[in-house]
Amino acid sequence: MNKPQEPANPDTVTGFTAQYITLAMALSIAMNEYLEEYDRLSREGPLDPESCSGPEPRRITIVVLGAALCESTINTYLSLKLDPACWGVLGRTSTVEKWTTVPKLFLRDYSIPADSPLHGDLKDLFECRNSIMHSKPEVYEGKKKRHKGNGRAWRVSDDAWVNRTYDLVLRLLEHLAKFDRSGAMTHYSSIQPYLSIPKWRSCPAAARTET
């Protein structure tokens, strides 16, 4: 990956579309619906985290929207920082690479350590998202497994992980803001109100996770 010779100046941008705002609103709505459903189900008895009638279907929505929001946000940021030729090439890299590697091209000290919780949550989210979007079934012949499938990868039974997925983009932006104070970071403040923490009800392990 070659370093761009002339990074774009975000301060010269006069406008841009902001689909990430709509995605942030959708994620906030999905999280509130998940918490309401969790409350309702928990009042009915013990929860089966993998049951189709349990919280799992609503968790899937949070995973898909959370991944879409992370991708839309970093795409917006990088499109403000890179010139058309550079963005045309780097825009095709994975979302994980866009967050962890591409900013190093113009932010000398930027890094998300591979062993950090932030990197782990980002990697896990997109592995989970990909297994949902490209779902493959387990297939058996008697007691023998013919195809192992990939359903286990997206059966998220840890509510703390769901909570970390919800605020992941804010933690990523907060980390990025430590290295970049240019006009390209204006969307950091614009996205925060839409992802204010909902009223945590009886969902366990609801505390936000630090970077």
Q: Which two tokens stand for residue 115?
A: 């062993």
Burial 55-88 (b: 16+ CB within 10 A, else e): bbebbbbbbbbbbbbbbbbbbbbbbbbbeeebbe
Query: Does 209 reside within a domain?
Result: no
pTM of the model: 0.80
Query: Does 163 reside within a domain?
Result: yes
Query: Does 51 reside within a domain?
Result: yes
Query: Does 28 reside within a domain?
Result: yes
Query: Does 44 reside within a domain?
Result: yes
Judged against a pLDDT cut of 80, whether residue 10 lies above it is answered with no
Tell me the residue range of the domain where 115 lies.
19-136+147-195
Q: How many domains does the chain have?
A: 1
More confident residue, 1 or 70: 70
More confident residue, 148 or 74: 74
CA distance 201 to 37: 10
Query: Does 6 reside within a domain?
Result: no
pLDDT tens per residue, range 87-104: 889 989 999 999 999 999
Residue 131: the pLDDT is 85
